[in-house]
Amino acid sequence: MTRFMRGLVREIQSWVSLIIRNWPGRLGFYLRQNYVRKRFRSAGENLWIEPGVVITGHENITLGSNFSIMRNSALYAHDGAPEIGNDVSINSNTMIAAADEGRISCDKVIIGPNVVIRASDHAHESADKPIRDQGHTGGSIVIEDDVWVASNCVILRNLRIGAHSIVAAGGVVTKDVEPYSIVAGVPAKLVSYRK
Protein backbone atom coordinates (compact mmCIF):
# COMPACT_ATOMS: atom_id res chain seq x y z
CA MET A 1 0.00 0.00 0.00
CA THR A 2 1.39 3.39 -0.95
CA ARG A 3 1.97 6.19 1.53
CA PHE A 4 -0.91 8.14 -0.02
CA MET A 5 -3.30 5.19 0.41
CA ARG A 6 -2.27 4.63 4.07
CA GLY A 7 -2.93 8.31 4.75
CA LEU A 8 -6.30 8.08 3.01
CA VAL A 9 -7.28 5.01 5.06
CA ARG A 10 -6.32 6.82 8.31
CA GLU A 11 -8.36 9.85 7.28
CA ILE A 12 -11.41 7.71 6.50
CA GLN A 13 -11.04 5.97 9.88
CA SER A 14 -10.88 9.38 11.58
CA TRP A 15 -14.11 10.48 9.88
CA VAL A 16 -15.88 7.22 10.78
CA SER A 17 -14.75 7.58 14.40
CA LEU A 18 -15.92 11.20 14.53
CA ILE A 19 -19.36 10.31 13.19
CA ILE A 20 -19.82 7.32 15.50
CA ARG A 21 -18.44 9.24 18.52
CA ASN A 22 -21.12 11.91 18.16
CA TRP A 23 -24.10 9.91 16.86
CA PRO A 24 -27.06 10.45 19.24
CA GLY A 25 -29.67 8.03 20.55
CA ARG A 26 -29.87 4.27 20.76
CA LEU A 27 -28.29 3.73 17.37
CA GLY A 28 -25.30 5.84 18.43
CA PHE A 29 -24.94 3.82 21.63
CA TYR A 30 -25.07 0.56 19.67
CA LEU A 31 -22.56 1.80 17.07
CA ARG A 32 -20.11 3.07 19.71
CA GLN A 33 -20.30 -0.06 21.81
CA ASN A 34 -19.65 -2.39 18.88
CA TYR A 35 -17.22 -0.27 16.85
CA VAL A 36 -15.06 0.61 19.83
CA ARG A 37 -15.13 -2.88 21.37
CA LYS A 38 -13.45 -4.34 18.28
CA ARG A 39 -10.63 -1.79 18.50
CA PHE A 40 -9.66 -2.29 22.18
CA ARG A 41 -6.94 -4.74 23.24
CA SER A 42 -9.76 -6.43 25.16
CA ALA A 43 -13.17 -5.39 26.46
CA GLY A 44 -15.74 -6.98 28.74
CA GLU A 45 -19.53 -6.86 28.63
CA ASN A 46 -21.90 -3.93 29.28
CA LEU A 47 -19.89 -1.01 27.94
CA TRP A 48 -21.65 2.36 28.06
CA ILE A 49 -19.90 5.05 26.02
CA GLU A 50 -21.83 8.31 25.71
CA PRO A 51 -21.59 10.74 22.77
CA GLY A 52 -18.56 13.00 22.57
CA VAL A 53 -16.09 10.63 24.27
CA VAL A 54 -12.64 10.83 22.68
CA ILE A 55 -10.52 7.66 22.78
CA THR A 56 -7.01 7.30 21.38
CA GLY A 57 -4.72 4.30 21.38
CA HIS A 58 -7.60 1.78 21.46
CA GLU A 59 -5.18 -1.09 20.85
CA ASN A 60 -3.45 -0.35 24.20
CA ILE A 61 -6.62 -0.25 26.32
CA THR A 62 -8.04 -3.08 28.40
CA LEU A 63 -11.59 -2.62 29.71
CA GLY A 64 -13.47 -4.88 32.07
CA SER A 65 -17.22 -5.41 32.25
CA ASN A 66 -19.77 -2.84 33.44
CA PHE A 67 -17.72 0.13 32.26
CA SER A 68 -19.34 3.50 31.66
CA ILE A 69 -17.88 6.80 30.51
CA MET A 70 -20.05 9.91 30.21
CA ARG A 71 -20.17 12.79 27.71
CA ASN A 72 -17.17 14.84 26.69
CA SER A 73 -14.65 12.67 28.51
CA ALA A 74 -11.34 11.46 27.09
CA LEU A 75 -9.35 8.26 27.40
CA TYR A 76 -5.84 8.70 25.97
CA ALA A 77 -3.60 5.68 25.58
CA HIS A 78 -1.13 6.33 22.77
CA ASP A 79 2.11 4.67 23.88
CA GLY A 80 0.56 3.88 27.29
CA ALA A 81 -1.32 1.03 28.95
CA PRO A 82 -4.52 1.73 30.86
CA GLU A 83 -6.08 -1.36 32.43
CA ILE A 84 -9.55 -0.42 33.54
CA GLY A 85 -11.20 -3.29 35.33
CA ASN A 86 -14.79 -4.21 36.14
CA ASP A 87 -17.44 -1.88 37.55
CA VAL A 88 -15.76 1.43 36.70
CA SER A 89 -17.91 4.52 36.21
CA ILE A 90 -16.44 7.76 34.81
CA ASN A 91 -18.53 10.93 34.89
CA SER A 92 -18.61 13.78 32.35
CA ASN A 93 -15.69 15.89 31.18
CA THR A 94 -13.04 13.63 32.72
CA MET A 95 -9.60 12.94 31.24
CA ILE A 96 -7.75 9.70 31.85
CA ALA A 97 -4.36 9.78 30.16
CA ALA A 98 -1.93 6.88 30.20
CA ALA A 99 0.11 8.17 27.28
CA ASP A 100 3.89 8.29 26.94
CA GLU A 101 4.51 4.86 28.52
CA GLY A 102 2.24 5.67 31.43
CA ARG A 103 0.22 2.97 33.17
CA ILE A 104 -3.12 3.30 34.94
CA SER A 105 -5.01 0.50 36.61
CA CYS A 106 -8.28 0.57 38.52
CA ASP A 107 -11.17 -1.71 39.41
CA LYS A 108 -14.54 -1.02 41.07
CA VAL A 109 -13.99 2.74 41.06
CA ILE A 110 -16.32 5.73 40.65
CA ILE A 111 -14.89 8.92 39.20
CA GLY A 112 -16.74 12.23 39.38
CA PRO A 113 -16.98 14.93 36.71
CA ASN A 114 -14.06 17.14 35.64
CA VAL A 115 -11.38 14.80 37.00
CA VAL A 116 -7.88 14.53 35.52
CA ILE A 117 -5.92 11.30 36.01
CA ARG A 118 -2.62 11.57 34.17
CA ALA A 119 0.20 9.02 34.34
CA SER A 120 2.80 11.15 32.58
CA ASP A 121 4.23 14.63 32.99
CA HIS A 122 6.15 17.05 30.82
CA ALA A 123 9.89 16.64 31.30
CA HIS A 124 11.41 19.89 32.56
CA GLU A 125 14.95 19.13 33.70
CA SER A 126 16.65 21.65 31.41
CA ALA A 127 16.10 25.36 31.99
CA ASP A 128 17.92 26.04 28.69
CA LYS A 129 15.27 24.33 26.57
CA PRO A 130 11.53 25.04 26.29
CA ILE A 131 9.48 22.59 28.36
CA ARG A 132 7.36 21.69 25.33
CA ASP A 133 10.50 20.40 23.56
CA GLN A 134 11.65 18.11 26.40
CA GLY A 135 9.13 15.31 25.91
CA HIS A 136 7.24 13.43 28.60
CA THR A 137 8.03 11.12 31.49
CA GLY A 138 5.66 8.20 32.00
CA GLY A 139 4.72 6.76 35.38
CA SER A 140 2.00 4.66 36.94
CA ILE A 141 -1.20 5.21 38.87
CA VAL A 142 -2.93 2.40 40.75
CA ILE A 143 -6.42 3.00 42.10
CA GLU A 144 -7.49 0.06 44.24
CA ASP A 145 -11.02 -1.34 44.72
CA ASP A 146 -13.95 0.70 45.97
CA VAL A 147 -12.43 4.18 45.61
CA TRP A 148 -14.48 7.32 44.98
CA VAL A 149 -12.68 10.16 43.25
CA ALA A 150 -15.03 13.13 43.64
CA SER A 151 -15.48 15.99 41.17
CA ASN A 152 -12.69 18.34 40.05
CA CYS A 153 -9.82 16.20 41.37
CA VAL A 154 -6.37 15.78 39.86
CA ILE A 155 -4.36 12.58 40.33
CA LEU A 156 -0.69 12.75 39.38
CA ARG A 157 1.70 9.97 38.38
CA ASN A 158 3.62 7.46 40.48
CA LEU A 159 1.15 6.87 43.26
CA ARG A 160 -1.35 4.39 44.67
CA ILE A 161 -4.76 5.17 46.12
CA GLY A 162 -5.62 2.49 48.67
CA ALA A 163 -8.84 0.49 48.66
CA HIS A 164 -12.06 1.97 50.08
CA SER A 165 -10.70 5.54 50.02
CA ILE A 166 -12.31 8.84 49.06
CA VAL A 167 -10.61 11.76 47.36
CA ALA A 168 -12.77 14.77 48.27
CA ALA A 169 -13.89 17.26 45.63
CA GLY A 170 -11.10 19.47 44.31
CA GLY A 171 -8.30 17.36 45.80
CA VAL A 172 -4.91 17.16 44.08
CA VAL A 173 -3.31 13.80 44.88
CA THR A 174 0.49 13.97 44.76
CA LYS A 175 1.44 10.97 46.95
CA ASP A 176 0.11 7.58 48.03
CA VAL A 177 -3.21 7.38 49.89
CA GLU A 178 -3.66 4.73 52.58
CA PRO A 179 -6.65 2.34 52.40
CA TYR A 180 -9.87 3.58 54.04
CA SER A 181 -8.64 7.20 53.95
CA ILE A 182 -10.52 10.39 53.15
CA VAL A 183 -8.14 12.95 51.67
CA ALA A 184 -8.81 16.55 50.64
CA GLY A 185 -7.04 19.74 49.63
CA VAL A 186 -4.17 20.93 47.47
CA PRO A 187 -2.07 18.90 47.88
CA ALA A 188 -4.46 16.25 49.23
CA LYS A 189 -3.90 15.38 52.89
CA LEU A 190 -5.54 12.94 55.26
CA VAL A 191 -8.79 14.30 56.76
CA SER A 192 -10.06 11.13 58.43
CA TYR A 193 -10.45 7.38 58.07
CA ARG A 194 -13.63 5.65 56.97
CA LYS A 195 -13.40 3.09 59.77
Angle (nearest 5°) at CA 102 between 7 and 167? 125
- The 10s digit of each residue's pLDDT in 99-132 is 788 899 999 999 999 999 999 888 888 889 998 8
pTM equals 0.87
Phi then psi for residue 133, to 5 deg, are -95, 5
Residue-averaged pLDDT of the chain: 92
Residue spans per domain, the chain: 3-193
Predicted confidence band of residue 37 (pLDDT cuts 50, 70, 90)? confident
Query: What's the average model confidence in pLDDT over 37-58?
Result: 89
- The 10s digit of each residue's pLDDT in 51-107 is 999 998 888 999 999 999 999 999 999 888 899 999 999 999 999 999 788 899 999
> Rounded CA gap, 26 and 28, in Å?
5
> Rounded CA gap, 45 and 87, in Å?
10
What's the CATH number for 3-193? 2.160.10.10
